[in-house]
Structure 1
Amino acid sequence: MPRPLLTTPGGASSTGEITKRSFKLTDGRDIIYFDDADTVLSPERAPDLREPAARPPTATMRQDVLTGEWISVASARQNRIVLPPSHLDPLAPASAENPSEIPSLYDVAVFENKSPSFGPALTGPGSPEGLDDLSRIGLGRNRQSVGRCEVMCFSPERTGSLAGVSLSRMRTVVEAWADRTAALSALPGVQQVFPFENRGEAIGVTLHHPHGQIYAYPFITPRTAQLIRSIQGYGGSLFEDVLSFEQKSGRVVLRGEHWTAFVPFAARWPLEVHVLPHRQVPDLAGTTAEERDEFSHLYRRLLRGVDALYATPTPYITAWHQAPVHAHRNDIRLMLQLTSPRREETKLKYLAGSEAAMGAFIADIPPETAAARLQEAIEP
């Protein structure tokens, strides 16, 4: 397998199999096509024929003085489309009846979100002045929500899921995640890059089209800040020891040469799976072609097993936890976390008083029980 794509300033580039092509939409946003190794598409891409439109201004983020956390106030998101009819799918290839966000037929497409939570500004008046600036606590503190938000479409099909794509397509998706992690990490002001997928209306999905998102934050997220405190308390071998501990448990659901997937010892959710690489690597951009190959196989099996648990598709969130761009690169290890609130076929776990107000989770299903169910559902 050729080396993975790292970054491309424009035009087209290729690993020899997966090809990346970069273009601009009429309002100046980037759109990037990733063609499968076995693509049947022409190298040509249709232009964006829509009239140019102004983008909303970059949002403002405010500090919660009680926690030190930063809250982005992005009111333009109120205007986003919610569950449109299939013939007006904004993520489908554009047509005369549907002038969508993506002008051309594609395998995998990534574009800048029209109404982002962070960005489009990366610098400017009111921008954060580094992590020290953001760590100070004070009343009425605000900064520009600089950064970037991208949408990644896994397929041109209006329905379906990532679990249903071909192995070749899954490999393209993994390549795109790695490519965008490298590209977004290089942008000024970006402190952490977060690829994720929300799947299912129970999660709050507003579009049925198979897709995910990537956020490039101007700060280190609260979850990662807590992880840093845990590493400081435990020691730099935390991830290595967690992996060894979980591999010896009965909660492993998949294991390969480079990755292990397991239900964690202290799972919060009725269904929760963590996937760790077997070596220290801070983010997707640092993985090898062999690791991406194996992950594509393993992840497809995992998602299909998750869907096989019940007669209807399982709602979930998958989250790539990556090291901050400029800190803790040698002790925070790349990790995928999949969580689902589904505790039975017709029952969901809702975050009520203890979880929502105090952050103190109560698990409804023992992790060992959840692991046994998933082990049975995953095909050999």
Structure 2
Amino acid sequence: MSELRWNPLLRTWTMVASNRKHRPTMPRDWCPFCPGEGKKVPEHFTVYAYDNDFPALTTSPDVPYADSTGFYMSAENYGKCEVILYSPEHTAKFYELSIDHIDELLALISERCDALAADERIKYVYPFENKGEAVGVTMPHPHGQLYGYPFVPQKLEVELASAKAYHADHDGHCLFCDMNHAELTAKERIVAENDSFLGYIPFFTDYPYGVFIVAKRHMGYLSECTAKERRDLAEMLKYLTKAFDALFDAPFPYMMVYHQRPVNSEAYADSDEYFHFHIEFYPPFREANKIKYYASSEMGAWAAANTSAVEETAPVLKRLYTQAKEGE
């Protein structure tokens, strides 16, 4: 059974995808993401995108379940799920890839975002990466994913509403541009900076090492990056992920998500005026091998708690980022 079910309490859709129960755990002697091994993976590639074998969303959806009471609402799970292979090397770490390689990866993600956005039934395009067993990764070969939703997910709706309200209340200012200015003024939470992007652990984040990478120039979508901006983003991602692994001298798990403006939506037709492209990291480790769990307060009430003041964690990560960059 695969469909969307409407949650009337939170006013958002839940994706039902029974097929995802059958996702494989990585066999010891075989990887479907390695060159030539899987049905969809070619013999030679640098980066590669293909349709997910176990999609939560599909362009050929089933007829949704009809609730017998007539009270609940369901819909087709129309959309797209893709796998983005970062490298042919099974054990490659993100920061071991060259800047040219990561730039090529970002170009592919950008291209696929535009391709999914061309489908008018898709309303939000969402690239992301899960890294490490602590966040549920079953396939360790370096890869990310790309979802094209037929709706704007709720967290993005909240961000968009906040950014739009700020824009209206502050003489057309962008909330993210002003966040950048505040963080540059304070300096203590800045982790990384180059010509095109800022990396910082925001004043309010709920993860001790929850870095945001925010474009300096106001833009709403990954594909709006110039060649220079995309390469600067590649550089920052390379050294930040290296700094993460240096924190506890061990592979550092995280969720990395790209937040960009919606597509094909009249309700958000003006979102390029107030929304701003950025990347958010959710790393679950608070100390070496100690997980910062999203427990009852966080999950049940959405009342987040951070176990560390970010003014303490940001300087540590900044030092490691600088060392990673200088060590090249």
TM over 0.5: yes
Q: Distance in 2 between matches of 1:222 and 1:68?
A: 8
Report deviation, 1:190. 0.5
1:92 matched to 2:31: no
Whether the 8 Å CA contact 2:164–2:274 is kept in 1: the answer is no
CA deviation profile, 1:154-203 (whole Å, cap 9, x unmatched):
11111232122112211111111111111111113100111111000001
Aligned match of 1:129: none
CA distance in 1, matches of 2:80, 2:166: 33
Bigger mean CA offset, 167-176 vs 113-122: 113-122
Report the equivalent of 2:12: 69
Aligned-pair distance for 1:307? 1.2
- The CA deviation at 1:311 is 1.5
Q: 1-side partners of 2:194 and 2:71: how far apart?
A: 50
Match of 1:355 in 2: 298
The residue aligned with 1:27 is none
Gapped runs of 5+ residues in structure 1? 1-56, 127-137
Q: Aligned-pair distance for 1:120?
A: 2.8
Tell me, yes or no, if structure 1 residue 224 matches structure 2 residue 156: yes
- The one-letter code matched in structure 2 to 1:178 is S
The letter for the 1-side match of 2:258 is W
- Asked if the contact 1:91/1:100 (under 8 Å) is kept, the reply is no
- d(CA) in 2 for partners of 1:277, 1:64: 34
Greater displacement, 98-107 / 350-359: 98-107
Output the CA distance in 2 between the equivalents of 1:189 and 1:179: 18
Name 1:9's counterpart in structure 2: none
Task: State whether structure 2 residue 124 is matched by structure 1 residue 192.
Answer: yes
The letter of the residue matching 1:208 is: P
Instruction: Give the corresponding residue for 1:264.
Output: 202
**Cα deviation digits, residues 223-245 of structure 1 (max 9, x gap):** 11111221243225212211111
Alignment of 1:209-358 (within 5 A): 209-235=141-167, 236-237=172-173, 238-249=175-186, 250-325=188-263, 326=265, 327=268, 328-358=271-301
Is the contact between residue 254 and residue 262 of structure 1 (CA under 8 Å) also seen in structure 2?
yes
1:329 is paired with a residue whose SS is helix
How many residues align structurally? 307
Looking at structure 2, the residues matched to 99 and 259 of structure 1 have their Cα atoms a distance apart, in angstroms, of 36
User: 1:125/1:286 Cα in 2 relative to 1: closer, same or farther (>3 Å)?
Assistant: farther
Determine the structure 1 residue equivalent to 2:308. 365
Partners of 1:372 and 1:90 in 2: CA distance? 40
CA-to-aligned-CA distance 1:226-285 (integer Å, 9 cap, x gap): 112212432252122111111112111111111111110011012110011111111111
For residues 91-119 of structure 1, what are the alpha-carbon distances to aligned partners after superposition, in whole Å with 9 as ceiling and x for unaligned?
1112xxx4443132211010011121111
Q: Superposition pairs for residues 75-224 of structure 1, below 5 Å?
A: 75-85=18-28, 87-94=29-36, 98-121=37-60, 139-224=71-156
Choose between structure 1 and 2: higher helix proportion: 2
Q: Residues of 1 paired with 2:105 and 2:130: CA distance?
A: 15
Give the TM-score normalised by the residue count of structure 2. 0.90
Distance 2:253 2:35 in 1: 25
**TM-score between both structures, scaled by the size of structure 1:** 0.78
Counterpart AA for 2:60: A
The separation in 1 between residues aligned to 2:38 and 2:203, in whole angstroms, is 48
**3-state SS, counterpart of residue 312 of structure 2:** helix
The separation in 2 between residues aligned to 1:119 and 1:289, in whole angstroms, is: 32
- Aligned equivalents of 2:35, 2:206: Cα separation in 1: 38
Counterpart of 1:72 in structure 2: which amino acid? Answer: M
Residue by residue, what CA displacement relative to the aligned partner does 1:102-151 show, whole Å, maximum 9, x if unpaired? 132211010011121111338x977xxxxxxxxxxx93111001110000
Q: Is the 8 A contact 1:65 1:139 kept in 2?
A: no
Amino acid at match of 1:116: P
CA contact (8 A) 1:259 1:278 kept: yes
Q: Give ranges in structure 2 of 5+ residues lacking alignment.
A: 65-69
The letter for the 1-side match of 2:227 is: A
**What secondary structure, in the 3-state scheme, does the structure 2 residue paired with 1:175 have?**
helix
% same residue? 30
Residues 270 and 365 of structure 1 are in contact (CA less than 8 Å); yes or no, is this contact kept in structure 2?
Answer: yes
- SS of the residue aligned with 2:211? strand
Q: Which has the higher contact order (CA 8 A, sep 6+)?
A: 2
